[in-house]
């Protein structure tokens, strides 16, 4: 009987060791799962952070492009207004010059008519007037 008790005792010790090993294996598996889960969480956070950074960059780039387009549009409108103002000013100056030339020619014609009528040259209607006299 002693042998049976020794064998039983050895089997009990063996079973306890095996149970302890199984428990250790279970703990190691749990730790690995937790570690893996923590790595997945960290990777997920890194990906989320990267997506947020890319999204912010895209929003900034879009905003910059919109602002650039607005500025280009304003520059174009301003250039057009300036060009229109310069054209109008040139047209006004040319109109003044033409009016001045016309006034000068009218004054010369009036002066010649006055001289002819004052000189009593008689038959003033027969005299031909030459435009070149007004220059």
Q: What percentage of residues in the chain have a pLDDT greater than 70?
A: 88
Query: Given this model, what pLDDT does residue 16 score?
Result: 95
C-alpha 99/C-alpha 80 separation (Å) is 28
Contacts for 48-52: CB closer than 8 Å, 24+ residues apart: none
User: Cα 102 to chain center, whole Å?
Assistant: 53
Which residue stretches of the chain are H helix? 2-119
Specify the pTM.
0.48
Report pLDDT digits (tens) over 104-114: 999 999 999 99
Query: Given this model, what pLDDT does residue 119 score?
Result: 72
Contacts of residue 108, defined as CB under 8 A and 6 or more positions apart, other chains included, come to: 133, 134
């Amino acid at each position: 009987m002693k042998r049976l008790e020794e064998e039983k005792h050895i089997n009990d010790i063996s079973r306890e060791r095996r149970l302890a090993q199984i428990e250790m294996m279970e703990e190691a598996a749990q730790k690995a799962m937790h570690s893996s889960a923590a790595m997945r969480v960290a990777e997920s956070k890194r990906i989320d952070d990267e997506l947020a950074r890319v999204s912010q960059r895209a929003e900034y780039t879009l905003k910059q492009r919109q602002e650039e387009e607005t500025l280009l549009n304003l520059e174009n409108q301003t250039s057009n207004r300036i060009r229109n103002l310069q054209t109008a000013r040139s047209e006004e100056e040319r109109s003044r010059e033409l009016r001045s030339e016309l006034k000068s020619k009218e004054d010369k014609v009036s002066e010649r008519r006055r001289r002819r009528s004052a000189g009593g040259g008689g038959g003033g209607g027969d005299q031909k007037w030459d435009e070149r006299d007004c220059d």
